[in-house]
């Protein structure tokens, strides 16, 4: 039975109650707006949602695309964490914060609440491991960006492992939203995901696109691009939502580094008007 049918039956019951017992009817009016609103909303399926009232309508203002919404959300979370920049040029990697910002960390109360939000949008697994430490949440952050922007489960599956959606994109059809590309030959653009294998042992084993296999990876969202560099934002980058500057060669191809041996670009395809 649909929610609309249930609402109609309940409204009939309210009318009968008014006829039989007017005084109790007035007390029960509190629930009527909630009932009507629940009948008029569309259930969310697979994390997708519809902004427009009906298909074929044109909005009276410019609605950002899914790609743009992912970028805006990433920039929003980066600002909440104090706009840190990941610096890998010195000895130990560190976060550099603007002079007017204090350093932030995933375990500080205001920011841990955001990590909880990202994590449980992607999984029901406990956020803390058996030693009481926070599990790696960078993949959950990407899933949260995607789902909050309107990307469906079918286009990017919920997971706390980057490999799961990398593998999904590797086998995706030509009409999929995300398509895996070799970072050695494909120049990313804002809205794409840029991924690299992690850990010293695994990066020695996976050094090319053809060698990709299950294991630890990290992915960031490209939020800006100029002639010689990308700006990417990722979660759990030195325990925060941080931005990293990625250098490009003369052809717009990313330059891998020891910290981030970039191998994969998940190209994000444009959708259609029905995504609104």
pTM above threshold 0.85:
no
The pLDDT, as a whole number, for residue 5 is 47
Q: Looking only at Cα atoms, what is the longest distance across the chain?
A: 81
The pLDDT, as a whole number, for residue 175 is 86
Q: In terms of C-beta density within 10 A (0-12 exposed, 13-18 middle, 19 or more buried), how is residue 215 classed?
A: middle
The pLDDT, as a whole number, for residue 40 is 43
Phi, psi of 128 (to 5 degrees): -95, 140
The pLDDT, as a whole number, for residue 46 is 57
Q: Taking the chain (276 residues) in consecutive chunks of 10 residues, what is each chunk's mean pLDDT?
A: 48 49 51 44 55 75 94 98 93 93 96 98 96 97 97 95 97 91 97 96 95 97 97 98 97 95 95 53
- Measuring CA to CA, which residue among 236, 140, 222, 239 is closest to residue 181? 222
The pLDDT, as a whole number, for residue 2 is 46
């Amino acid at each position: 039975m649909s929610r609309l049918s249930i609402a109609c039956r309940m409204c009939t019951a309210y009318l009968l109650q008014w006829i039989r017992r007017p005084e109790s009817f007035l007390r029960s009016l509190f629930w009527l707006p909630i009932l009507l609103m629940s009948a008029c909303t569309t259930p969310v399926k697979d994390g997708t949602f519809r902004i427009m009232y009906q298909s074929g309508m044109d909005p009276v203002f410019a609605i950002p695309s899914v790609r743009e919404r992912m970028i805006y959300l990433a920039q929003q979370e980066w600002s909440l964490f104090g706009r840190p920049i990941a610096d890998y040029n010195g000895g130990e990697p560190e976060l550099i914060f603007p002079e007017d910002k204090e350093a932030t960390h995933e375990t500080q109360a205001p920011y841990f609440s955001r990590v909880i939000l990202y994590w449980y949008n992607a999984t029901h697994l406990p956020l803390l491991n058996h030693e009481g430490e926070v599990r790696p949440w960078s993949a959950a952050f990407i899933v949260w960006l995607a789902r909050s922007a309107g990307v469906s489960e079918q286009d990017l599956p919920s997971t706390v492992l980057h490999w799961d959606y990398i593998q999904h994109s590797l086998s995706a059809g030509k009409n999929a939203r995300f398509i895996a590309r070799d970072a050695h030959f494909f120049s990313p653009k804002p809205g794409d995901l840029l991924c690299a294998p992690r850990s010293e042992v695994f990066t020695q084993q996976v050094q090319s696109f053809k060698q990709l296999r299950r294991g630890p990876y990290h992915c960031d969202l490209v939020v800006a691009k100029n002639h010689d560099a990308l700006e990417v934002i990722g979660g759990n980058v030195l325990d925060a939502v941080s931005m990293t500057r990625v250098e490009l060669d003369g052809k717009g191809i990313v330059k891998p580094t020891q910290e981030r041996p970039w191998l994969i670009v998940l190209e994000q395809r444009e959708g259609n008007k029905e995504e609104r």
